[in-house]
């Protein structure tokens, strides 16, 4: 059996694992919020629109972080920005344990989101640039698979820690990445592509943004912004509300955490199948197919009436949605040349985070207004289908291609 080059090279394996652990901590933080708000709703007597606002403010921070970090990583390097964003989000997460009011918690969740939103696109860019083209897509999807492990960790913390020790303890655990940053500093290096390009091409922020919207990349940029908005809008709208939706369907807090843990485990095979298929069938097909199946699963979940149906639909939703995320993270860096890659990825992720702001808050408003869960999930179905069509009609296949062939028309500042 052929062993992928990626798995035979210790340096690339080390990079993937090191960046993956930071990705795991990101997911653990985001995942814990979905469980913590369910507990907070009981303890602080929060209304649904307040729960939606708390989830949304985290995404506002992620949008700002993705924009800032994406630009800075093209100027200062992937490694240094990755470390700083990791420190920011873990420190803010730990401090959240001390929050004594809803307003203070929201402010700290904005800062945690800023660091988290900045780290994700920079980590995927670093891995994408450090791996051979024939293994690039698989490597980034495998990086994304650490997100599922982080969500599983958050579900375990929620199930075993929050009911007995409270939500503040969960936030304290979220501060662990501060210690990991010290390890990461010694285990990763900037990509050779970035270091070589930095010596040749130095662009201002305005020039990088102009390049992302220049004629060679405009179609891809439009497609990515639509895709990221739709995927982030639906993901955060659905998954941050998952424990609360379970409670709305009649299950208690602990039982809801148990079911969400089962559903979350399905993320791992979703990633692994996408990693397997993406180098065989191409980025466009895998991404569009997984998105369309996510949409179908959303309709099924929204209409589920029995316990078995709810879990089965949730497993499918988790499987296909997170597989699509992996494909999207692999696809996005491949559409831009090295000199503007992190800026392009950061801008797309930042625009997508606007969807992450709207999604959870919209769910809170709709549920507060008496809208049925079925109708809420129909909204997400429509958004996911729009994202899939954007890929099919505006996207181009990047499997095995070298993005730097498009690197023309860029002049030093």
Q: Which CATH number covers residue 271? A: 1.20.1250.20
Burial 148-159 (b: 16+ CB within 10 A, else e): bbbbbbbbebbb
Rounded CA gap, 66 and 397, in Å? 25
In a domain, 411, yes or no: no
Q: 299 near 316, Cβ under 8 Å?
A: no
**CA torsion, points 308, 314, 319, 321, in degrees to nearest 10?**
160
Taking the C-alpha atoms of residue 362 and residue 234, their distance in angstroms, rounded to an integer, is 11
Q: What is the pLDDT along the chain (413 residues), one digit of tens a residue?
A: 344 445 456 777 778 888 888 888 888 887 787 778 777 877 888 777 787 778 778 878 888 888 888 888 888 788 888 888 888 888 898 898 898 888 999 999 999 889 888 887 888 788 877 777 777 777 877 887 788 788 788 878 877 888 788 888 888 888 877 777 777 777 777 777 777 766 566 777 788 889 889 888 899 999 999 999 999 999 888 876 766 666 666 665 545 566 667 777 787 888 888 888 888 888 899 999 999 999 999 999 888 777 788 888 888 988 999 889 888 988 998 888 888 888 898 899 889 988 888 887 788 788 777 777 788 889 999 999 999 999 999 988 887 666 655 443 444 44
| pLDDT reported for residue 111 | 93
CB burial of 293-329 (b: ≥16 within 10 Å; e: otherwise) equals bbbbbbbbbbebeeeeebbbbbbbbbbbbbbbbbbbb
The pLDDT score that the predictor gives to residue 291 is: 96
How many distinct structural domains can be found in the chain? 1
Amino acid 407: pLDDT: 45
User: How far from 399 is each of 40, 203, 279, 283, 286, CA to CA, in Å?
Assistant: 45, 27, 7, 7, 11
Give phi and psi for 412, each to the nearest 5.
-60, 150
Contact 61, 113 (CB under 8 A): yes
Contacts of residue 405, Cβ cutoff 8 Å, sequence gap at least 6? none
Q: Is residue 159 part of a domain?
A: yes
Q: Which domain holds residue 280?
A: 10-181+196-406
**Residue 201, SS3 per DSSP:** coil
Please list the alpha-helical segments (H only) found in 131-282: 133-160, 162-165, 167-173, 177-187, 192-200, 205-212, 218-239, 242-248, 253-265, 267-281
Nearest of 85, 88, 59 to residue 72 by alpha carbon: 85
Question: What is the Cα–Cα distance from 347 to 182, expressed in whole angstroms?
Answer: 28
- N- to C-terminal Cα distance for the chain? 49
Give the pLDDT confidence score for residue 403 in this predicted structure: 64
Closest CA to 342 of 163, 172, 137, 205: 205
Instruction: State pTM to two decimals.
Output: 0.76
What's the CA gap between 151 and 148, in Å, rounded?
A: 5
Q: Is the dihedral of CA 57, 210, 387, 311 positive or negative?
A: negative
Q: How far is CA 130 from CA 79, 82, 190, in A?
A: 12, 15, 8
Specify the pLDDT at position 412. Answer: 40
Q: For position 132, what pLDDT does the model report?
A: 74
Q: Which of 242, 233, 244 is nearest to 151 (CA)?
A: 242
Helices (H) and strands (E) in the chain — how many of each? 19, 0
Residue partners of 100: CB distance under 8 A and separation at least 6: none
Is residue 331 situated within a structural domain? yes
Q: Considering only CA atoms, which of 257, 320, 272 is closest in space to residue 146?
A: 272
Residue 186 within any structural domain of the chain: no
User: Which among 36, 33, 12, 28 has a CA at the least distance from the CA of 236?
Assistant: 33
CA dihedral for 246, 251, 252, 254, sign (positive or negative):
negative
């Amino acid at each position: 059996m052929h062993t992928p080059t990626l798995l035979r090279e210790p340096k690339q394996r080390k990079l993937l694992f090191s960046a993956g652990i930071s990705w795991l901590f990101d997911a653990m933080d985001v995942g814990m919020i979905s469980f913590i708000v369910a507990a907070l709703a009981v303890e602080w007597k929060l209304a649904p629109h307040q729960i939606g606002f708390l989830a949304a403010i985290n995404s506002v921070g992620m949008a700002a972080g993705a924009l800032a970090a994406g630009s800075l990583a093209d100027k200062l390097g992937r490694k240094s920005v990755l470390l700083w964003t990791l420190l920011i989000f873990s420190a803010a997460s730990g401090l959240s344990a001390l929050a004594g009011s809803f307003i203070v918690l929201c402010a700290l969740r904005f800062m945690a989101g800023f660091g988290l939103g900045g780290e994700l696109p920079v980590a995927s860019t670093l891995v994408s640039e450090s791996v051979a083209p024939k293994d690039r897509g698989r490597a980034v999807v495998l990086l994304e698979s650490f997100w599922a492990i982080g969500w599983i960790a958050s579900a375990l913390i929620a199930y075993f820690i929050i009911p007995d020790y409270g939500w503040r303890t969960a936030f304290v655990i979220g501060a662990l990445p501060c210690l990991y940053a010290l390890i990461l500093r010694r285990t990763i290096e900037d990509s050779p592509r970035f270091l070589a390009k930095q010596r040749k091409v130095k662009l201002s922020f305005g020039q990088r943004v102009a390049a992302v919207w220049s004629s060679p990349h405009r179609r891809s940029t439009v497609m990515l912004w639509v895709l990221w908005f739709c995927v982030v809008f639906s993901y955060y709208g659905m998954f941050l509300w998952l424990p609360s939706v379970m409670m709305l369907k009649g299950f208690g807090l602990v039982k809801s955490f148990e079911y969400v843990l089962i559903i979350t485990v399905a993320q791992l095979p979703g990633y692994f199948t996408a990693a397997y298929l993406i180098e065989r069938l191409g980025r466009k097909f895998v991404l569009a197919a997984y998105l369309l199946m996510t949409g179908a699963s959303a309709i099924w979940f929204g209409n589920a009436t029995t316990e078995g149906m709810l879990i089965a639909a949730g497993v499918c939703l988790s499987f296909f949605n997170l597989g699509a995320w992996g494909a999207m993270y692999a696809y996005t860096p491949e559409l831009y040349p090295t000199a503007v890659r992190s800026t392009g990825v950061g801008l797309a992720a930042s625009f997508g985070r606007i969807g992450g702001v709207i999604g959870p808050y919209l769910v809170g408003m709709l549920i507060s207004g008496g809208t049925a869960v079925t109708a809420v999930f129909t909204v997400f179905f429509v958004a996911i289908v729009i994202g899939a069509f954007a890929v099919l009609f505006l996207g181009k296949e990047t499997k095995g291609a070298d993005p730097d062939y498009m690197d023309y028309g860029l002049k030093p500042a």
